[in-house]
Amino acid sequence: MAFRTLATADRGAVRTITINRPDKLNALNRETIGELTLAFRQAQQDDAVRVVVLAGTGEKAFVAGADIAEMTGLTPVQAQTFSHAGQVLMRTIEGLGKPVVAKIQGYALGGGMELAMACHLRVASEKAKFGQPEIGLGLIPGFGGTQRLTRLTGRGVALELCLLGQQIDAARAERLGIVTRVVAAEELDASVDAIADQLAVAAPLALKGILDAVIEGGECAIDQGLAFETQGFAIAFSTEDMREGTAAFLERRKPTFHGR
């Protein structure tokens, strides 16, 4: 289907979903959130797609936040629905079962930072800026920012960024674990493409198993998480990909994985 606020493109097994609201610095309104949720669900159901790259149009912003102009008119009940829709999107991305790489240029603020944190890998331009500035609007983060930021950085940093609302640069975001990798602005596209290409030829079922073990198992107590990992490890032994991977290793050739 055609989207009004997004552009999608496939390059082999890599699907790129681009938020296309440059005049609003790609801010998230209700329509964009709905379209993103649908676009990710379509990618999840398409066996030809093995990796998703999430980007924003233009050099100024990945996503500068939620659409404040739309938010100002919300009632408390509508705000609850808006927050819930955003959180459904973030959980859809997080639980996609396929790697999602955020390509972050410019601003990733508020809802944009929350969107980036829901992705599995986050590659940022050295010019990128991050922050949870909701306190300046008399608000709190509503798309999971308090929770994912705490899990990524610890309570102290999460409180600092949310209570003070200050922006941080990409270098500090990387040190805090918010960003996976920082590259020069002119290298961002090539760096993300290289990561996506590597993931696209990896074993899809093993990728899903790793994502499940880290994301779901990581929320459990250690013994439960270890049991989750053991179960995933054992299941991998039932796959054709495991047999192909081990055979290729012994035969000193590159494996070809089919997700079976």
The answer to whether 90 and 47 have CB atoms below 8 angstroms apart is no
Q: Is the domain of 11 the same as that of 123?
A: yes
Domain enclosing residue 216, as ranges: 204-250
pLDDT of residue 219: 87
Task: Let me know whether 63 and 109 are in one domain.
Answer: yes
pLDDT at 220 (0 to 100):
86
pLDDT score at 1? 66
Q: Which residue positions in the chain have pLDDT lower than 70?
A: 1
| Residues 154, 216 within the same domain | no
Contacts of 174 (CB under 8 A, 6+ apart): 124, 180, 181, 182
Whether 193 and 167 share a structural domain? yes
Residue 218: predicted pLDDT: 85
Q: Is 186 a catalytic residue?
A: no
* 193 token code pair: 């493409």
Instruction: Looking at the structure, tell me whether residues 76 and 97 fall in a common domain.
Output: yes
For residue 260, is it within any domain? no
CA–CA distance, 217 with 224 (Å, rounded to integer): 7
Residue 259 included in any domain: no
CATH of the domain at 185: 3.90.226.10
Asked about 114 being catalytic, the answer comes back as yes
Q: Tens digits of per-residue pLDDT, 245-259?
A: 999 999 999 999 998
Domain assignment present for 255: no
28 in a structural domain: yes
The pair of structure tokens assigned to 83 is 């927050």
Asked if residue 167 and residue 230 are part of one domain, the reply reads no
Asked whether residue 167 falls in the same domain as residue 218, the answer is no
pLDDT at 202: 95
The distance of Cα 130 from the centroid of its chain, to the nearest Å, equals: 15
The pLDDT value given to residue 217: 86
Catalytic residue among 35, 70, 114, 251: 114
Residue 111 maps to a domain:
yes
186, 202 Cβ separation under 8 angstroms: no
DSSP summary character for residue 216: T
66 and 36 together in one domain: yes
Residues 38 and 78 in one domain: yes
Domain CATH for 213: 1.10.12.10
Residue-wise pLDDT tens digits, 23-59: 999 999 999 999 999 999 999 999 999 999 999 999 9
User: Catalytic pick from 134, 187, 216, 219?
Assistant: 134
